[in-house]
Amino acid sequence: MKESSLRRRIFADRAFQALVALLSFCAILPMFFILFFITKNGIAVINWNFLTRLPAPVGETGGGIANGIIGSGLLIVLSSVIAVPVGVLTGIYLAEHRKGKFAYLSRLSVEILMGIPSIVIGIIAYIWVVMPTGSFSAISGGVALGIMMLPVIVMSTEETLKLIPDSLKEASLALGVSYPRTILKVILPAGLNGIVTGVLLSVARVTGETAPLLFTAFGSPFMAVNILKPVSALPLTVFNYATSPYPEWHALAWGASFVLLVFVLALNLTAKLGLRKWKVQF
């Protein structure tokens, strides 16, 4: 082989590796831009009043996002109540039935649910809850977010339980422990770490969702805790104020974005890093 061709190949190799590294680096840049932008603009408006007061009318300064925080909390509780029990049970079902046509259909449904655009879920909650009750409400928002949480919880529960060795189940059954107790008291505790991770990730997923809330929870400038009335939510606050023409409201939107971003990223990081530490060893 000729020396020059070898040199060219080595050069191509190095150049390609540099290009890959460069493009990868560029792709993660937006993360830092976003963090920088949101933090710079957001932190300036964050103070105790901002977190505890209701929004101020146009022209006045010093309003807060308390309604959004409370509303988001309420929506998370409602959607978790709907999605966690069904999601965990479905996950158990799929982990216990690895083969079979029915389990396959069920698994496929979960994957399709995962891919449905959030705006479509919003319309479904509108058709199912808002139309019959005749009013936008926290509960309709909870249904929408619950449907979005469901597949995440199912998948993480199934994945976690699949990794638990069968010998554990046999140990319990051989002690004369019934099947329900074996699942609930031996298998679930052994997989608790993964299930909690899944729930946290699903909460992180829906906390930032705006589209499904536009015509369900709808938004409200008041401190609302009635689940049959419209409520605000942090992402709705961001959307409404960010797209308004008033600079005071933009400030509110930056602050709300910062709070939302910190919450969602912290939840993601906790789920991915923090929970590894107390993972069950087999």
Partner 1 sequence: MESPVLRIENFCAGFDSNQVLKDINLSILRNKITAVMGPSGCGKTTLIRCINRMHELIPNANVSGKILLDEQNIFDLDPIIVRRKIGMVFQRPNPFPTMSIYDNVIAGYNLNGIRISKGDKDRIVEESLKKAALWDEVKDALHRKGTFLSGGQQQRLCIARALAMDPEILLLDEPTSALDPKSTAHIEELVVHLKDAVTIIQVTHNIPQAARISDFTAFIYLGELVEFGPTEKLFTVPKDKRTEEYLTGKFG
Partner 2 sequence: MIQPIEGGAGQTPARAKTRDKTMTQTKAETAQAHYRPGFTLSEAAFRKILYLAGISVLVLLIAIFLSLLIASLPSIKALGISFLTGRTWDPVTLKFGALPFLVGTLITSFLALLISTFFSIPISIFLGYYYREGKASSFVKTVIELLAGIPSVIYGFWGLFFFVPIIRFIETALGVPPYGVGILASSLILAIMIIPYSASLGREVISLVPNDLKEAALSLGATRFEVIRKVILPYARSGIFAGILLSLGRALGETMAVTMLIGNSNFLPTSIFSPANTMASVIANEFTEATGAVYLSSLIELALLLFVVTTIINIIGKIIIIKTSFEA
Within 221-260, which residues bind partner 2 (CB under 8 A)?
A: 235, 238-239, 242-243, 253, 257, 260
Instruction: Evaluate whether 149 touches 83 at the Cβ level (below 8 Å).
Output: yes
The least CB distance from residue 53 to partner 2, in Å, is 21
Q: Is 135 in the site for partner 2 (CB under 8 A)?
A: no
Among 54, 66, 103, 262, binds partner 2 (CB under 8 A): 103
Q: Is 274 in the site for partner 1 (CB under 8 A)?
A: no
Among 181, 215, 242, 265, binds partner 1 (CB under 8 A): 181
| Interacting residues with partner 2 between 40 and 59 (CB under 8 A) | none
135 binds, options partner 1, partner 2, none, Cβ within 5 to 8 A by partner type: none
DSSP code of 190? H
CA 75, 78, 83 angle in degrees (round to 5)? 115
Q: Which range binds partner 2 by CB under 8 A, 55-63, 68-76, 164-172, 268-276?
A: 268-276
Structure tokens at 134: 């005749």
| Spatial distance between the Cα atoms of 190 and 160, rounded to a whole number of angstroms | 9
Among 170, 223, 226, 274, binds partner 1 (CB under 8 A): 170
The least CB distance from residue 203 to partner 1, in Å, is 24
Structure tokens at 172: 């319990």
CA 202 to chain centroid: 4
119 binds, options partner 1, partner 2, none, Cβ within 5 to 8 A by partner type: partner 2
| Interacting residues with partner 2 between 166 and 225 (CB under 8 A) | 176, 178-181, 183, 204-205, 207-211, 214-215, 218
At residue 279, what is the residue type? K
The 10 Å CB-count burial string (b at 16+, else e) for 155-189 is bbbbbbbeebeeeebeebeeeeeeeeebbeebbbe
CA 55, 219, 138 angle in degrees (round to 5)? 125
On the 0-12 / 13-18 / 19+ scale of CB atoms within 10 A, 259 is buried
The least CB distance from residue 198 to partner 1, in Å, is 18
Among 54, 113, 168, 262, binds partner 1 (CB under 8 A): 168
Binding stretches for partner 1 (CB under 8 A):
165, 167-168, 170-178, 181-182, 185-186, 189-190, 192, 280-282
